Amino acid sequence: MSDGPIALGLDPGLATTGYGLVRLAPRGWEVVAGGTIETEAGLPRTERLVEIYREVRALIETYNPIGVAIEEIYLARNARTAMGTAETRGVILLAAHGTPVRGYTPLQVKKRITGYGKANKAQVQATVRQLLGLAELPKPDDMADGLALALCYLLDISGVRREEHAYL
């Protein structure tokens, strides 16, 4: 692995928060780490949020990313789910204090990664796989979203346009 800058992408959710750490390397991008932070449904909400805070803080302290990319909240049909996601997002923002944070809507991620704002999840994952040189599609979906968000951050700071992806 090279010594290029690392971005942390986070897909917030109270039950499952996906994360991806991607490094900007001389010849493209490298996956540093990826996974999910999962909390138990039976625990009090405050304990679940503290667990997410601790895990995100540990990722930031371990990998020292130059920035954090987090998915913006979109309108959800289920108000309870939206509230949990909003609270999780707030905890993540607190954990990232002192590190630059950029928010991306799902539409922005799709457009930035695939060039098409109406791309489906499979298309985004296939492009993430290609850009990161992975043998298989990144799974689970929450982790794949975290990797896509980290890529968005690195694309933005590097100034690489969508049509230049194929040449890296």
Environment class of residue 77 by beta-carbon count within 10 Å: exposed (0-12), middle (13-18) or buried (19+)?
exposed
Q: How is residue 46 written in tokens?
A: 């405050």
What's the pLDDT at 166?
45
CB 23 within 8 A of CB 4: yes
The mean pLDDT value for 85-114 works out to 96
User: Domain boundaries in the chain?
Assistant: 6-167
pLDDT in tens, 32-83: 999 999 999 999 999 999 999 999 999 999 999 999 999 998 766 677 778 8
Region 6-167: CATH code: 3.30.420.10
Cα separation, 167 vs 72, in Å, equals 29
Q: How is residue 65 written in tokens?
A: 């990313």
Residue 14 carries which DSSP code? S
What's the pLDDT at 106?
94
CB 69 within 8 A of CB 9: yes
Q: Where are the beta strands (DSSP E) in 39-123?
A: 67-71, 101-104
CA atoms within a 13 Å half-sphere pointing along the CA-CB vector of 138 = 31
**Would you say the pTM of this structure is higher than 0.85?**
yes
What's the pLDDT at 119?
94
CB 45 within 8 A of CB 22: no
Known catalytic residues? Answer: 11, 71, 142
